[in-house]
């Protein structure tokens, strides 16, 4: 047994190393949902990130420390104009600046007249900046910005999208000089690394749109008991604008229809009718829904446009074949066409 455990020890060390490396990578990747899904909050970002990225705003509380000069150490709140008042140098504009920029500004003013090479440290004691996360998320809330916060992190902190959330239409409204700029972002593209994960700013309002298809499906599930839904699933109750457009040689009818969550027109069959004629082509999923295996019918479900185009191509092909036959024995060809 000891020998067996000894052999397993290198494998265990390797696995632990992989887990640590993966977690480290996720914590630095702001373009995916990985870190956010582990519960990343604004407060989880390091102080180094805060000093580089955080932009000071009104109502922020700052701790200003001057090395070896305790009388100049102050805890101050940023006024609505963006200024703080400090000993010796009076009002200093820090609003709209990063933590590093504020440190440099204060040190420059102190060094100009009062101190030689002052070492100034500015730390965020309390954030007065907030963003609102609303719409189709699991936990709508007002979040405090105490560090850099991206859109994907904010949505993850709000519990992620709810069951009707539309990941492709997420609004971020930002007001500046009484003008509201509303941008729409695609969270799926951000997750895939195809779009930038934007950083949120003070006063931003994030609103996740609802998906019409998901709302319709949820409403259907709420209204129809699961046992009943299972017997009707994937067909009459989930399809609309149903019109018969043809039939197959075995008598199975073809229909044009839309799903309740889509505006696209399709041409296909109804599972209940298929089950009567070709039962082997119909299965019931674990969710209770009936599904048609079109391959067993020698078919494929098409959009209405594809179906119309295929019929047009078929008509042209048959017309061309008829023309070719007419170039031979015309009488015989005409007779065959009749």
The CATH number covering residue 105 comes to 3.30.1950.10
Q: Do 250 and 173 have their domain in common?
A: no
Distance CA 126, CA 61 (A): 5
CATH number at residue 146: 3.10.560.10
Q: What length is written for the chain?
A: 338
Distance CA 170, CA 208 (A): 5
Q: Let me know if residue 333 belongs to a domain.
A: no
What token pair was written down for 77? 């709140």
Q: What is the 3-state secondary structure (H, E, C) of 169-221?
A: EEEEEEEECCEEEEEEECHHHHHCCCCCCCECCCCCEEEEEECHHHHHHHHHH
Distance CA 270, CA 257 (A): 10
Q: Do 179 and 221 have their domain in common?
A: no
Q: Do 247 and 223 have their domain in common?
A: yes
pTM of the predicted structure, to 2 decimals? 0.46
Q: Do 249 and 182 have their domain in common?
A: no
Q: Let me know if residue 175 belongs to a domain.
A: yes
Q: Do 180 and 265 have their domain in common?
A: no
In which band, very low, low, confident or very high, does the pLDDT at 309 lie, cut at 50, 70 and 90? confident
Task: Name which residue leads in pLDDT, 61 or 323.
Answer: 61
Average pLDDT, integer, range 222-242: 55
* Whether 62 contacts 70, CB under 8 Å: no
Q: Let me know if residue 5 belongs to a domain.
A: no
Distance CA 208, CA 192 (A): 18
Q: Do 226 and 290 have their domain in common?
A: yes
Measure the CA angle with vertex 156, ends 154 and 160; round to 5°: 120
Task: Name which residue leads in pLDDT, 3 or 221.
Answer: 221
Q: Which of 202, 160, 159, 163 is nearest to 58 (CA)?
A: 202
pLDDT higher than 80, residue 89: yes
Measure the CA angle with vertex 232, ends 293 and 253; round to 5°: 55
Q: Let me know if residue 144 belongs to a domain.
A: yes
Task: Name which residue leads in pLDDT, 89 or 300.
Answer: 89
Q: Of 210, 244, 277, which one is at a domain's C-terminal end?
A: 210
Q: Do 171 and 110 have their domain in common?
A: no
Number of domains in the chain: 3
Q: Do 119 and 138 have their domain in common?
A: no
What token pair was written down for 179? 């003008």
The answer for 241, left when phi > 0, alpha when psi is -120 to 50, beta otherwise, is: left
pLDDT higher than 90, residue 121: yes
Distance CA 335, CA 174 (A): 76
- pLDDT (tens digit, 9 = 90+) per residue, 195-212? 999 999 888 999 998 886
Q: Do 238 and 253 have their domain in common?
A: yes
At residue 91, the pLDDT reads: 94
Q: Let me know if residue 337 belongs to a domain.
A: no
- Could you give the C-alpha distances from 140 to 27, 74, 137, 173, 262, in angstroms and in order? 24, 36, 6, 16, 27
- pLDDT (tens digit, 9 = 90+) per residue, 150-163? 999 999 999 999 98
Q: Do 157 and 229 have their domain in common?
A: no
DSSP bridge pairs for 86: 90
Q: Of 210, 240, 255, which one is at a domain's C-terminal end?
A: 210
At residue 307, the pLDDT reads: 85
Q: Let me know if residue 48 belongs to a domain.
A: no
pLDDT higher than 80, residue 304: yes
Sign of torsion, CA 278 280 281 284?
positive
At residue 237, the pLDDT reads: 62
Task: Name which residue leads in pLDDT, 52 or 4.
Answer: 52
In which band, very low, low, confident or very high, does the pLDDT at 19 lie, cut at 50, 70 and 90? very low
In which band, very low, low, confident or very high, does the pLDDT at 55 lie, cut at 50, 70 and 90? confident
In which band, very low, low, confident or very high, does the pLDDT at 333 lie, cut at 50, 70 and 90? very low
**Containing structural domain, residue 103:** 58-126
Helix (H, G, I), strand (E, B) or coil at 266: strand
Q: Do 189 and 105 have their domain in common?
A: no
Q: Let me know if residue 255 belongs to a domain.
A: yes
Q: Let me know if residue 42 belongs to a domain.
A: no
- Could you give the C-alpha distances from 194 to 33, 188, 197, in angstroms and in order? 13, 9, 9
At residue 321, the pLDDT reads: 60
Q: Of 170, 191, 210, which one is at a domain's C-terminal end?
A: 210
């Amino acid at each position: 047994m000891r020998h067996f455990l000894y052999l397993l020890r290198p494998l265990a060390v390797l696995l632990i190393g992989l887990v640590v490396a993966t977690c480290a990578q996720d914590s630095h990747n702001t373009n995916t949902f990985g870190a956010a899904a582990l519960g990343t909050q604004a407060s989880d970002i390091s102080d180094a990130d805060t000093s580089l990225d955080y932009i000071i705003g009104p109502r922020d509380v700052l701790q200003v420390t001057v090395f070896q000069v305790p009388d100049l150490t102050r805890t101050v709140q940023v006024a609505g104009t963006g200024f703080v008042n400090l000993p010796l140098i009076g009002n200093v504009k820090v609003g709209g600046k990063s933590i590093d920029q504020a440190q440099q500004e204060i040190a420059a003013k102190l060094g100009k007249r009062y101190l030689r090479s002052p070492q100034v440290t500015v730390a965020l004691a309390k954030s007065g900046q907030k963003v609102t996360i609303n719409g189709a998320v699991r936990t709508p809330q007002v979040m405090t910005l105490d560090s850099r916060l991206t859109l994907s992190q904010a949505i993850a902190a709000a519990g992620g999208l709810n069951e009707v959330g539309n990941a492709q239409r997420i609004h971020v409204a930002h007001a500046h000089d009484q003008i509201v700029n509303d941008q729409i972002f695609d969270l799926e593209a951000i997750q895939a690394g195809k779009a930038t994960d934007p950083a949120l700013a003070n006063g931003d309002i994030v609103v996740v749109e609802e998906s019409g298809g998901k709302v319709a499906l949820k409403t259907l599930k709420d209204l129809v008991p699961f046992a009943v839904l299972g017997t009707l699933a994937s067909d009459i109750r989930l399809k609309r604008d149903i019109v018969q457009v043809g039939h197959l040689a075995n008598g199975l009818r073809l229909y044009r229809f839309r799903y309740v969550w889509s505006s696209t027109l399709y041409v296909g069959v109804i599972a209940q009718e298929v089950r009567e004629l070709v039962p082997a082509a119909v299965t019931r999923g674990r969710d209770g829904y009936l599904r048609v295996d079109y391959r067993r019918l020698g078919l494929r479900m098409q959009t209405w446009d594809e179906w119309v185009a295929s019929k047009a191509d078929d008509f042209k092909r048959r017309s061309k074949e008829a023309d070719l036959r007419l170039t031979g024995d015309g009488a015989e060809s005409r007779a065959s066409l009749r």
